[in-house]
Amino acid sequence: MKKVNFLLVMFLLISMLSVQAGIKKPANELTGTWKYKVSNVPVEYETGFMTFEEKDGKTSGYLGQSQKSEMKALTVADGKVTFKLDFEGGILTVTMVQDGDKLNGSVVSQDGEFPITAVKEEKK
């Protein structure tokens, strides 16, 4: 009888842990407007805003507020955000890791690699 109870308890414990492991960070934690800062670039490109939106289960995004540049090949997985942008005849590749309301990573261009940080704006 003890063996049956032990097996039953172990089964329930393993089931609960499996369910917990299947719970992922919702994509909507990324949605919203983020203020970014890129280091070691000309002043006019140093700061700005990026916005992520969730629609029909798909995440999309763009840079800028009045002139919007669409993020291409945007992927969001396991806290990692990557996308590409067309920029002055070239392609920028942005890779960042999300830690709560902060993003940290790098921007790679034909001119080199530059650190980028972003902080999520509070909803108004």
Size of the chain in residues: 124
Q: Is residue 3 part of a domain?
A: no
- We report the CATH number of the domain holding residue 39 as 2.40.128.20
Residue 122: DSSP 8-state: P
Tell me what pLDDT residue 87 has: 87
Q: Is residue 6 part of a domain?
A: no
**How many domains are there within the chain?**
1
Query: In sequence order, what are the beta bridge partners of 37?
Result: 47, 117
Q: Is residue 107 part of a domain?
A: yes
Give tens-digit pLDDT for 20-61: 444 444 445 899 999 999 999 999 999 999 999 998 889 999
- As a whole number of angstroms, the distance between CA 109 and CA 91 comes to 6
Q: Is residue 56 part of a domain?
A: yes
pTM score: 0.74
Tokens of residue 13, six digits: 């414990």
Q: Where are the beta strands (DSSP E) in the chain?
A: 32-38, 47-55, 58-63, 69-70, 72-77, 80-87, 90-99, 102-109, 112-120
Q: Is residue 10 part of a domain?
A: no
Q: Is residue 115 part of a domain?
A: yes
36: containing domain? 27-120
Q: Is residue 43 part of a domain?
A: yes
Q: Is residue 94 part of a domain?
A: yes
Give tens-digit pLDDT for 91-111: 999 999 999 999 999 999 999
